């Protein structure tokens, strides 16, 4: 029985340039994806074949002065589906069209409403704010070496404008606070082994439910952009994938999920991150402090 076989990475022999392609652009709402070749690998299960690896991400952008949300009357499944190739353990080359960027067509923003003097409130998710955009986490797609990355099959869902209570549309364009470190220093500082030391949530600008983690749960970021998550005594199973940093946004991509976190602090001993989108019904954002492990 074969053990776990490592893939051999061969760097691009020629420069690899990122390319952005627009798939949808109507009434101020657009969908595009960008990709670049990151290397060529040899799969031990198909020793006579080489595969080119492409790193890709997708972006949705609202250029209107009004928020947008999805129209639930549509029945087609939104998608950006690429054809990717793999080798079976029997050495057979297979291909399959798969839906990538599963987080892209989810509601990325929320607003709350309440009934005065009752204590009752509700959270309403929607797609994008005015003059807003969302970029997915990176994913890796493999094709036989020498073949181009084919344009994906795609479908953009039905959508409509929505009025957000108490929203000043003239000043809603998102601005990301500039990190004190450059991208290069972030990419150097993050390499190493980290322990999850504290978790919390951010609600209305206030940090709540601060919890000091006592379990030995670790993350390892490697210089080759590989990441291993949930090592040791963690709530979830171990995951292996890739990481990247753009500005102060840390993206982690594995087989099972994509995450994006805003780096609030990163130095030689500590890292503090905040999720870029809420996964909680009250509209709060998850936060974590990680401590570098020296041994």
Residues of the chain with CATH 2.40.128.280: 183-293
Q: What gap in Å lies between CA 278 and CA 286, rounded to an integer?
A: 7
Number of helices (H) and strands (E), helices first, in the chain?
Answer: 1, 22
**Six-digit token string for 64:** 């209107």
pLDDT by 10s per residue, the chain, length 295: 233 233 333 333 333 446 899 999 999 999 999 999 989 998 888 888 999 999 888 999 999 999 999 886 656 778 899 998 888 888 889 888 888 887 788 777 877 766 555 555 566 788 888 998 888 777 888 899 999 999 999 999 899 999 887 654 333 333 333 344 455 588 899 999 999 988 888 877 777 888 888 888 999 999 999 999 989 888 888 888 889 888 788 888 887 677 888 888 888 888 989 887 766 777 788 889 999 997 6
Domain 183-293 class, CATH top level? mainly beta
pTM over 0.75: no
CA trace torsion 78, 84, 89, 93 (10° rounding): 130
pLDDT on residue 171: 32
């Amino acid at each position: 029985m074969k053990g776990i076989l490592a893939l051999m990475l061969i760097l691009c022999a020629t420069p690899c340039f990122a390319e952005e392609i627009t798939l949808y652009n109507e009434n101020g709402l657009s969908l595009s994806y960008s990709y670049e070749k990151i290397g060529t690998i040899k799969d031990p299960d198909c020793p006579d074949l080489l595969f080119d690896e492409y790193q890709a991400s997708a972006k949705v952008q609202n250029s209107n002065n009004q928020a947008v949300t999805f129209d639930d009357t549509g029945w087609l499944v939104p998608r950006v589906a690429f054809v990717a190739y793999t080798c079976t353990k029997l050495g057979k080359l297979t291909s399959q069209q798969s839906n990538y960027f599963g987080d892209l067509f989810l509601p990325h923003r929320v607003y709350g409403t309440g009934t005065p003097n009752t204590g009752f409130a509700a959270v309403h998710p929607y797609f994008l704010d005015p003059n807003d955009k969302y970029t997915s986490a990176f994913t890796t797609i493999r094709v036989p070496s020498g073949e181009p990355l084919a344009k994906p099959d795609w479908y953009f869902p039905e959508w409509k404008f929505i009025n957000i209570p108490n929203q000043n549309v003239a000043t809603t364009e998102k601005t990301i606070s500039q990190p004190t470190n450059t991208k290069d220093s972030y990419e150097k500082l993050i390499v190493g082994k980290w322990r999850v030391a504290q978790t919390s949530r951010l609600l209305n600008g206030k940090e709540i439910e601060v919890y000091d983690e006592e379990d030995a749960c670790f993350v390892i970021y490697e210089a080759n952009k590989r990441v291993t998550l949930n090592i040791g005594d963690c709530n979830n199973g171990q995951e292996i994938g890739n990481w990247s940093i753009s500005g102060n946004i840390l993206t982690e991509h594995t087989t099972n999920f994509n995450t994006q976190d805003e780096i609030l602090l990163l130095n030689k001993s500590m890292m503090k991150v905040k999720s870029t989108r809420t996964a909680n019904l009250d509209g709060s954002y998850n936060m974590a402090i990680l401590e570098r492990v020296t041994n």
